[in-house]
Amino acid sequence: MINVVLVNPEIPNNTGNIVRTCAATGAVLHVIEPCGFSWEDKYLKRSGLDYWEISDVRRYPDMHAFLTSNFGEKASNTGDVPNDLKATKTNTGTQFLYASTKSEHTHCETSYDTDCYVFFGRETKGLPEDILHENYDDCIRIPMRAGARSLNLANSVAIIVYEYLRQHEFKGLKDKGKLTQYDV
């Protein structure tokens, strides 16, 4: 399964839309705080619609709590986040990918493991460069025109989640629709 990891998201509408994408696809959403909004925000709730009850959203006060909760004793927690991420990946054999406009590799060039974690940074700054630098071979980007700074965070998550799903043949997803007013 794909795990979407939002690091310090700032905009409630984006996070709400990402909740909906994750709920519709079966992805787990991990949110590393602090966030730039309250979890009681009406825009967050509205963007997630009624998908909150079928979503798997996990919140953590910081990266240390995220690593410990998900990887237990194999998590590295020296306090040096870039190196802790790299060491935890090595200790567990889990695929960690980092979405960034600064990557040399596209999201389509990457072969996604069945269980992987894709990290996304805050809307205004992306992931910290020290994380990207220490894990640069695991960074992926979505192609864009020259001069475009970035895509919307919710759109980026959807694009990468669906590339993962495409590579895994949309396993577990409903692949046919049906008209509701006509018998076809």
Work out the percent of the chain whose per-residue pLDDT is above 90.
80
pLDDT at 46: 63
Tell whether the torsion through CA atoms of 90, 95, 101 and 105 is positive or negative. positive
Length of the chain: 184
pLDDT at 51: 72
Per-residue three-class SS string for the chain: CEEEEEECCCCHHHHHHHHHHHHHHCCEEEEECCCCCCCCCHHHHHHHHHHHHHCCEEEECCHHHHHHHHHHHHCCCCCCHHHHHHHHHHHHCCEEEEECCCCCCECCCCCCCCCEEEEECECCCECCHHHHHHCHHHEEECCCCCCCCCCCHHHHHHHHHHHHHHHCCCCCCCCCCCCCCCCC
**Tens of pLDDT along 101-155?**
999 999 999 999 999 999 999 999 999 999 999 999 999 999 999 988 899 999 9
The full set of domains in the chain, from first to last, is 2-167 (3.40.1280.10)
Closest CA to 62 of 3, 23, 5, 132: 5
Q: What is the pTM of this model?
A: 0.93
Most confidently predicted of 36-45, 157-166, 171-180 = 157-166
pLDDT at 91: 96
